[in-house]
Amino acid sequence: MDFLKILRSLDELLYEVITWLFFYPRTLWRVLRHPLKMVDYTKQELAKQDAQFKDAISPPLFLILTLIILYGFALANHNQAFLNNNTQTGDIGHIVFGSIQNTLMFRSLNYSVWSLIFSLGLLNMQRISIDRETLRAPFFIQCFLIAPYALGVTLGFIYTASHTLALQILGLGLLFVSLLWYIIVQVKYIVMVVHISYLRAVLHTLLYFVFGCMISYLIAYMMLKHLA
């Protein structure tokens, strides 16, 4: 009986994993094309008692799968940013990005923290009391919004580390477009939810973004101290 239960569990797991081949690119396209529509979609799905996100991938899983795909892409291309023979062992870039495992762990913490910062900032702007329930929806939304940014930025860094000029230009283009897309989406999201001017929304977005960069550096520094 236990063996049959294991087989049934594997059956469900296999079905869930194989459906990601369809639902991941579909979810990515929906977020890229209509990011603000995904805000209402996320709220509607979280309001359901069961069968949430059955026509898409749930936001945290979507972010995790994005990072795993990037992990596999880096392995397939044998191209890791900051990894070269001239980098000193104690350098933060070499330790954080020189190991693909460290890179994946750093990125997971990095983008999750960014999602958390923007979520907390948005709730604070709305003067909503922060608890596990009120934080869930904005955090899930941020996971949707930051995944394409993570995808574009990571690919951008990989290509800029290439020795081919065309790939370096492509990498710089990806970095610029990804950052621009992310900032614009966040500004429109804040304006839509908080109903403030675009100027104030831009200032808040830049503030949260810079704060996220500072936290990311702190995480990298802690990893450096632990792994050095």
Condensed to tens digits (0 to 9), the pLDDT of residues 36-77 reads: 999 999 999 998 888 899 899 999 999 989 988 887 787 776
| pLDDT tier, 10 (very low <50, low <70, confident <90, very high otherwise) | confident
CA distance 47 to 44: 5
Residue 197 has pLDDT above 70, yes or no: yes
**Domain with 142 in it:** 2-227
Token pair belonging to 67: 């990072």
Q: List the single range of 27-36, 42-51, 139-148, 192-201 with lowest mean pLDDT.
A: 42-51
pLDDT given at position 57: 93
pLDDT, mean of residues 152-180: 90
Which of 156, 61, 67 shows the shortest CA–CA distance to 107? 67
**100-142: pLDDT as tens digits:** 566 666 777 788 889 999 999 999 999 999 999 999 999 999 9
CB contact at 8 A, 179 and 98: no
| pLDDT tier, 86 (very low <50, low <70, confident <90, very high otherwise) | very low
Identify the burial level of 189 via C-beta atoms within 10 angstroms of its C-beta, where 0-12 means exposed, 13-18 middle and 19 or more buried.
Answer: buried
CB contact at 8 A, 155 and 147: no
How would you classify residue 6: left for phi > 0, otherwise alpha for psi between -120 and 50, otherwise beta?
A: alpha
Question: Backbone phi, then psi, for 53, in 5-degree steps?
Answer: 55, 40
Residue ranges of the alpha helices (H) in the chain?
2-33, 37-46, 59-77, 92-97, 100-125, 132-160, 165-194, 198-227
Instruction: Please state the length of the chain.
Output: 228
pTM, two decimal places = 0.82
Distances (CA, A) of 72 to 76, 155, 184, 217: 6, 12, 29, 24
pLDDT, mean of residues 152-167: 87
> How many domains are there within the chain?
1
Residue 219 has pLDDT above 70, yes or no: yes
